[in-house]
Amino acid sequence: MDKERKLIIAGNWKCNKTVAESLALVADLRRELAAVKEVDVVVCPAFTALESVSKAILDSNIRLGAQNMGDNGYGAFTGEIAPGMLKEFSVGYVILGHSERRQFQKESDALIARKAAAAHGANLIPIVCVGETLAEREAGITNPVVETQIKGSLAGLSAEQVERTVIAYEPVWAIGTGKTATSAQAQEVHAFIRGVLVGLHGDAVARRVRIQYGGSVKPNNARELMSQPDVDGALVGGASLEVRSFADIVKNSI
C-alpha cells in the first residue's frame, strides 16, 4: 500500500498476560513478522513484562511501548513510573490518555499534555489517544469533542514535538465492542484531526503526524481502514493478544 506516512501498528495488551505469556506471544510475533519493513510494529505489554519483552525483541523489527507513564520524573510519587524508568528497558513509545484511563482514572487533557511533554523530554514517542463516546457521536458533537481533546492534550508541545507525536483516534463506542467505525467515518475524523493540527502548527507539521485508528480493528477490516488517506496505522486492543490476528492485521495493512 502506497502511503504518505509510514504506517504504525501498535498492540495494546492492556492488563493481560503473565511474563511467560508475554514472552511466548512476542516470540511468535518475531517469527511471523520478521520480513515486515513497511510498517512500524509496536507491542505494549504490562509494565511487569517490559524488561523481559525488551530482551526478547532485541535485534528484531518489533518496537516496545508502555501503556502509561507518570507526568513527573523520579521522586516521591508512590505508584508512578518515571519516563527514565521506561528508557531503561529501551521503551520507545508510550500510550497516553487511553479512553480507559480517561474514564476510570479520570485523566484530563491537561494531565495528558504534561505526560506528553515529559515523554518528549525523555525521548519517548507519545501515542496520544482521543475519541468521542457514543452519546457524543449521537449528539453530533464528535468534532468539537475531538478538537478539545487534541488541543488540550498537545498543549505546550513545540511544533517539533507535535510532529513526532502519534495520535490515536479511538471512538470509545468502538473499543472492545466489535463495532468498528466505517472506513469513511474514520477518514472523516482523521482528516478533521489533521485540519486541527494544521491550525495549530501549519501544513508541513500536520502532514508528518501519524494518526492511528483504534476500535475493534481485526484482520478483515484492517486493509480497508488503512487504505484511507489520513489513516496511518492502528492501535489494536483485543486482536493484539493473539499472534494470528495481530500478525494478519499487520500483513493485511501492507
Distances (CA, A) of 119 to 79, 127, 179, 192, 199: 18, 10, 31, 25, 23
Minimal distance, residue 127 CB to ligand PEP, in Å: 10
Query: Which three three-digit cell numbers place residue 244?
Result: 494470528
Minimal distance, residue 234 CB to ligand PEP, in Å: 8
Our finding on whether 245 is near ligand PEP (CB under 6 A) is: no
Contact string (CB under 6 A) for ligand PEP, positions 172-191, x = contact: ---xx---------------
Task: Find all residues with CB under 8 Å of 97, minimum gap 6, and list them.
Answer: 107, 109, 112, 115, 128, 129, 130, 149, 153
Our finding on whether 97 is near ligand PEP (CB under 6 A) is: no
By CB under 6 A, the count of residues binding ligand PEP is 13
Binding positions for ligand PEP, 115-144, rule CB under 6 A: none
- Binding ligand PEP (rule: CB under 6 A), the pick from 235, 247, 249, 250 is 235
Query: Which three three-digit cell numbers place residue 139?
Result: 449528539
Does 201 qualify as catalytic in the annotation?
no
Our finding on whether 216 is near ligand PEP (CB under 6 A) is: yes
Give yes or no for a contact between 208 and 163, defined as CB atoms under 8 angstroms apart. yes
Our finding on whether 70 is near ligand PEP (CB under 6 A) is: no
- Binding ligand PEP (rule: CB under 6 A), the pick from 236, 243, 247, 249 is 236
Catalytic residue among 100, 107, 132, 170: 170
- Binding ligand PEP (rule: CB under 6 A), the pick from 214, 221, 226, 231 is 214
Distance CA 184, CA 187 (A): 5
Nearest C-alpha neighbor of 93 from the set 58, 60, 128: 128
H/E segment holding residue 53: helix 50-56
Piece of the chain touching ligand PEP by CB under 6 A; list 56-64, 111-119, 158-166, 236-244: 236-244
Cα 183 to its chain centre, rounded Å, is: 18
Chain positions contacting ligand PEP, by CB under 6 A: 12, 170, 175-176, 214-217, 235-239
Residues acting as catalytic residues: 98, 170
